[in-house]
Amino acid sequence: MEELERAFSAYASRPWLRFYDEGVPSDIEVPEKPLYTILEESASMFPERTALYFYGRRVKYRELLELSRRFAGYLASKGIGRGDVVGIFLPNSPQFAIAYYGALMVGAAVSPMNVLYSPREIRHQMEDNGARILVAIDLFRDKVLTGLPRGVEEVIWTGIQDFLPGVKAFFYKLKARPPRIEYDETNKSFNEILKASKPYEGDPGIDPRRDVAALMYTGGTTGTPKGAKLTHYNLLANVLQIDAWFKRGVKGKDVFVGALPWFHIYGQTAVLNSGIHKAATILTYARWDVDTIMKDIEKHKATVFHGVPLMYIAIINHPQVHKYNLRSLEVCISGAAALPVAVAEKFEELTGAKLREGYGLTETSPVTHVNPILGEARKGSIGVPVPSTMAAVADPDNPRILPQGETGEIVVSGPQVMAGYHNRPDENELSFFDCCGYRWFRTGDMGYMDSDGYFYIVDRKKDIIKYKGYSVYPREIEEVLYKHECVKEAAVIGVPHAEFYEVPKAFIVLKPECKGKVTEKDIIEYARNNIAPFKAPKIVEFREDLPKTAVGKVLRRVLREEELRKMKSRG
């Protein structure tokens, strides 16, 4: 017990607090109120301010609140309330926000889905969450209907054109040719519902600490899709933690870049909910288009940009980036994947903005760590725990905390940590443990904390490469590769080897001007000159692109599966 207390003491003192920017509190108060009240409060204060800017269409705060209440009124008329789930199969759009807040207003939980999901994936999530109603995009009508499980009572259809300005809506329909929807008792029109329904004025009696606001599906630490139960309290807490970290001051001033998908928890919390909480104008995009986004940053003088490394890579490598004035940007955060140091430095040089790496998971709403905005941002670090968050490093196989400086599994505790996985008691047992007066959630990420309280990720538990008895961390190799002047993207995995168990293999996407000029030998030699030779990749494969998630995280798992298939085919 004494040994355990000594190990925990380095974390218990929260050494990271002395590196907080001036004015950032060590802890925050989270009010006991439903998440949707952030929209009500902003609409009350700034009714005429643009909440969502969608390709020329402006949706004001009073309009967004009114439409959300109308959608809530429809759900209530269908008997949807506390304990129910509403599925959302939409890209970023005013319809997403309306369906999201409308469902929360009647006490239902939302369960968004990636619009790239296959029918099988749609069916799995809808069967698991038990949703009775799905709000879906018309472009993927056939895919949605193929994947729809029994038990879904209605599909409410909408299209991008429904919230575009007149001329743009006309040309969009000519180009995209959305399929015709035959409306009946089980297929309804989103627009008609909003026109015909009365605003909901009831009180669902939400218990913020217990009632689930969002059922977000993730692979977690095992890769099996499962729903993380995020309560109103969890999500509101994370919005307030982000706000405290940013110190954005008064409401009604910011302009957010809404490029991150809201069906992912990062975009949902850091952009949609945080933007609405701040009464910001959110530049809303149904898909990532770097040219449109850079134009809009300049035109609308955007101030806040939450993104992923690939977004920042796309901007700094754009051949006409210097044509745009991006200097209005003040605070930019990168999450979901490791931010290469070289990318951060180049982006800050181009924009003058502060670009900081942060960290989080679906299960933590998601933000747990961020580098200080004004203070010291340490290279390669995910930063320090945000207010009201405890973090430590634990033995990945046992419920005990490891001494400061040792590498182990990063664990966290705080008001943003989920209530648990939906219908997965065995997973909950593996994911949580009690120690030192805290309920810890296992992140599945291996890392360490330095003496100042900054945390570093060395890799996912399952991504560590075992080479000649050494533990080799793909992220460390990728950091080196990204510094090569010709490397646009890089990913490293371990591939099976008869003698050494595994060897590191690098997948490289070259910048266009370097294609055909750089060889596998060049990359290996460069790595050996900049990292311990045993860590350098032994094999290099050049690719046109890398498999990624919807938010741009490279899927090492897919690369490993491809390699295994190749090996099997070779016998």
Q: What is the pLDDT of residue 172?
A: 92
* Angle, alpha carbons 340-342-348 (nearest 5°): 105
Instruction: Return the residue matching tokens 């606001």.
Output: 213
Q: Which pair of structure tokens corresponds to residue 237?
A: 């807490």
Sequence-ordered list of residues with C-beta below 8 angstroms from that of 446, at least 6 positions apart, any chain: 396, 407, 408, 409, 410, 457, 458, 459, 460, 461, 464, 473
pLDDT digits (tens, 9 = 90+) for 228-268: 999 999 999 999 999 999 987 789 999 999 999 999 999 99
Mean pLDDT across 149-162 = 96
What residue type is 16 in one-letter code?
A: W
What is the rounded average pLDDT of the residues 478-497?
A: 90
pLDDT of amino acid 249: 76
Q: What is the arithmetic mean of pLDDT over 340-357?
A: 93
Distance CA 309, CA 477 (A): 16
Q: Taking phi first (over 0 means left), then psi (-120 to 50 degrees means alpha), and beta for anything else, what does residue 420 get? A: left
Q: Which long-range contacts (CB under 8 A, 24 or more apart) does 57-66 make?
A: 57/94, 57/163, 57/164, 57/165, 57/168, 59/94, 59/163, 61/279, 64/39, 64/94, 64/97, 64/98, 64/101, 65/39, 65/40, 66/199
- What is the per-residue pLDDT across 73-102, written as a single tens digit (0 to 9) for each? 999 999 999 999 999 999 999 999 999 999
Query: What integer pLDDT is reported at residue 469 of this predicted model?
Result: 55
Q: What is the pLDDT of residues 192-226, one digit of tens each?
A: 999 999 999 999 999 999 999 999 998 644 445 78
pLDDT of 116 above 90: no
> What band does 117 get if pLDDT is binned at 50, 70 and 90?
confident
CA distance 505 to 492: 6
Classified as helix, coil or strand, 334 is: strand
State the average pLDDT over residues 20-37.
Answer: 97
As a whole-number percent, the residues of the chain with pLDDT over 70 amount to: 96
CB 136 within 8 A of CB 148: no
Q: Is the pLDDT of residue 571 over 70?
A: no
Q: Helical H runs in 397-438?
A: 425-431
Residue 224, pLDDT score: 57
Number of H helices, E strands in the chain: 18, 27
Q: What is the pLDDT of residue 499?
A: 67
- Between 73 and 341, name the one with better pLDDT: 73
Domains defined along the chain, listed by start: 2-26+389-459 (2.30.38.10), 59-207 (3.40.50.12780), 464-570 (3.30.300.30)
Q: For residue 244, what pLDDT is reported?
A: 96
Tokens coding 341: 């140091």
Question: What is the Cα–Cα distance from 100 to 273, expressed in whole angstroms?
Answer: 10
pLDDT confidence of residue 468: 66
Minimum mean pLDDT range among 146-150, 277-281, 355-359, 465-469:
465-469
Residue/partner pairs of 50-53 with CB below 8 Å, 24 or more apart: 50/281, 51/97, 51/276, 51/279, 51/281, 51/282, 52/94, 52/97, 52/258, 52/281, 52/282, 52/284, 53/281, 53/282, 53/283, 53/284, 53/296, 53/300
Among 305-314, 387-396, 406-415, the range scoring the smallest mean pLDDT is 305-314
Higher pLDDT, 471 or 258: 258
The pLDDT score that the predictor gives to residue 470 is: 61
Residue 498 has pLDDT above 90, yes or no: no
pTM: 0.84
For residues 120 and 183, what is the distance between their CA atoms, to the nearest angstrom? 24
281-296 per-position pLDDT tens digit = 999 999 999 999 999 9
Residue closest to 200 by CA, chosen among 34, 57, 32, 51: 34
Which has the minimum average pLDDT: 320-324, 525-529, 540-544? 525-529
Q: Max alpha carbon distance in the chain (Å)?
A: 72
CA distances from 11 to 16, 24, 382, 385, 412 (A): 9, 19, 16, 11, 11
The vertex-480 CA angle with 476 and 485, nearest 5°, equals 155
With pLDDT > 90 as the criterion, what percentage of the chain qualifies? 78
CA dihedral for 17, 18, 20, 26, sign (positive or negative)? positive
Instruction: Give the contacts of 400 (CB within 8 A, at least 6 positions apart).
Output: 4, 7, 394, 435
158: left (phi over 0), alpha (psi -120 to 50) or beta: beta
| pLDDT score at 502 | 82
Q: 82: phi > 0 → left, psi -120 to 50 → alpha, else beta; which? A: beta
